[in-house]
Amino acid sequence: MSAQLAIDGGKPVREDPFPSRAAGVGDEEMAQLADVIKAGQMNRVGGQKTKLLEEGFAKLIGMKHAVAVTSGTAALHTALGAINPDPGDEVITTPVTDIGTVIGILFQNCIPIFADTDPKYGYNLDPESVRKNITDRTRAIIVVHLWGAAADMDEFLAIGKEHGIPVIEDCAQAYLTEYKGKLAGTMGDVGCFSLQSSKHMTCGDGGLVVSNNDDLIRRARLFCDKGWDRSAETYRAYPFLGINYRITELQSAVGVAQLGKVEWVVARRRELGDMLSGKLSGIPGLLPPPDSATSGNVYWLYAIRVREEEFGMSRKRFIEALNAEGIPGFALFDDKPLHLREMLLEQRTFGKSHHPFDCACASRRVKYAPGLCPNAEQSVKELVTVGLHEFCSEREVEDTAAAIQKIAAAAKA
Ligand SMILES: *Cc1c(COP(=O)(O)O)cnc(C)c1O
């Protein structure tokens, strides 16, 4: 007989709240910030902290250059600005990601082309689908390592090479994610990271662009700094159109302190995430994420796929039951991937136009509809994320596993 679920009036697995992540910032960040205030130098130009953040991050992941900007969205936009596509060019990416992956494509007057995700897990891009979506207008591929599990980079790099298309890695959730001995962000032409507050390292909001390509980095630095060439005699030559995505010294100071913690954060999350997967294997209808050994997973969030029919319960009820047991869990993308969200479905972009979708610069009229990416559409309906993080302990892992096992037993009963 299965135990009565808390949602049906039974005793919950856990009654006290989960630990908070707020402990992740403290004295180290305060000391770095105090330096900036004391120096009275808050702008990055002439300051030290942004330089330290850029050099420190580049060193951490073994890259030649890093450029700090105001957000992960800004980092991705800057990467595209550096690549400099023509208006109407196409950029292939996944519909299972943060909207920040797509925003820069549109602001750079390019058309997002959504390829489908892999059939098993349903969140990282399927190389075959990317291949099918290549046209003579494809100008970049943005690969996302969702949840911190590595996408199949060998395949994407091969496609990029074959067609002469740059590959951008969106590593917002993938700090120190490993793929065949290499780190996420170091394999493609450009890597982009987010320092937003939910990410493995944070300064509230911020972003990083990394590359070994001197020319791309030169363009990236100009692009995010209003086209100001800091190495030239006159800044105001404006060689091309840029924007202001300059990070402040205040943000960078916090980022510098966080740099010293991210390896610990990642190691701890790997340990806890793998531990939870070990306890959840073999439950019918429930697919834990790939572990850190197979996918380099750094568990930004711990994502489970719940196949309703096989599991014996709807995802909605699973989440309600989980929360009632005292375990935080939610459906991050609700039930829709990006291409079925209003802005993209209705192409609500600039004024009365649908620019760049309806631009004469485009070589075809792209529209999105249900059925475009069947694996992605199915997987977002099944995904449940659990917020295990570095301040959790074995007890939170045990409670999460116990609650899920309890729900699974009741679902079968
Ligand atoms: C967070 C995130 C972004 C955007 O980063 P912001 O700093 O919030 O702008 C982009 N892509 C992915 C996969 C993300 O998780």
What pLDDT, in 10s, does the model give residues 222-275? Answer: 999 999 999 888 888 999 999 999 999 999 999 999 999 999 999 999 999 999
Nearest to 297 by CA among 127, 147, 194: 147
Q: Averaged over 148-154, what is the pLDDT? A: 98
Q: Name the residue of 98, 147, 173, 197 to mutate for ligand 1: max ligand atoms within 8 A of Cβ.
A: 98
**Closest protein CA for atom 6 of ligand 1:** 72
Residue 393 lies in a domain: no
Say what the pTM is. 0.98
Query: What is the residue range of 150's domain?
Result: 27-261
Tell me how many degrees the CA angle 258-264-270 measures, rounded to the nearest 5: 125
Q: What is the pLDDT of residue 233?
A: 84
pLDDT, the chain, mean: 97
385 is a domain residue: no
201 lines ligand 1 (CB under 6 A): no
Give me the number of domains the chain comprises. 1
Query: What are the DSSP calls for 203-256, one per residue?
Result: SSS-EEEEES-HHHHHHHHHHTBTT--TTSS-GGG--S---B-BPBHHHHHHHH
d(CA 339, CA 176): 29
Does residue 345 sit within a domain? no
Q: What is the pLDDT of residue 308?
A: 95
Note whether residue 338 is domain-resident.
no
List the CATH number of the domain containing 46.
3.40.640.10
In a domain, 315, yes or no: no
Give the C-alpha separation, 337 to 161, whole Å. 28
What are the backbone angles phi and psi of residue 179, rounded to the nearest 5°? -135, 115
pLDDT of residue 338: 98
Instruction: State pLDDT tens for residues 333-375.
Output: 999 999 999 999 999 999 999 999 999 999 999 999 999 999 9
Ligand 1 atom 10: the closest Cα is on which residue?
Answer: 100
The pLDDT of 282-293, averaged and rounded, is 96
Q: What's the pLDDT score for residue 413? A: 81
Q: Is 169 in the pocket of ligand 1 (CB under 6 A)?
A: no
Q: Taking Cα atoms as reference points, which of 167, 242, 140, 253 lies closest to residue 206? A: 253
Q: Which residue has the higher pLDDT, 235 or 19?
A: 19
**In what helix (H) or strand (E) does residue 162 lie, and over which residues does it extend?**
helix 153-163
User: Is there an atom of ligand 1 within 6 Å of 78 CB?
Assistant: no
Ligand 1, atom 5: nearest CA belongs to which residue? 72
140 located within any domain: yes
Q: Is residue 322 part of a domain?
A: no
387 occurs within a structural domain: no
Res 1: pLDDT: 57
Percent of the chain with pLDDT over 70: 100
Q: What is the pLDDT of residues 305-331, one digit of tens each?
A: 999 999 999 999 999 999 999 999 999
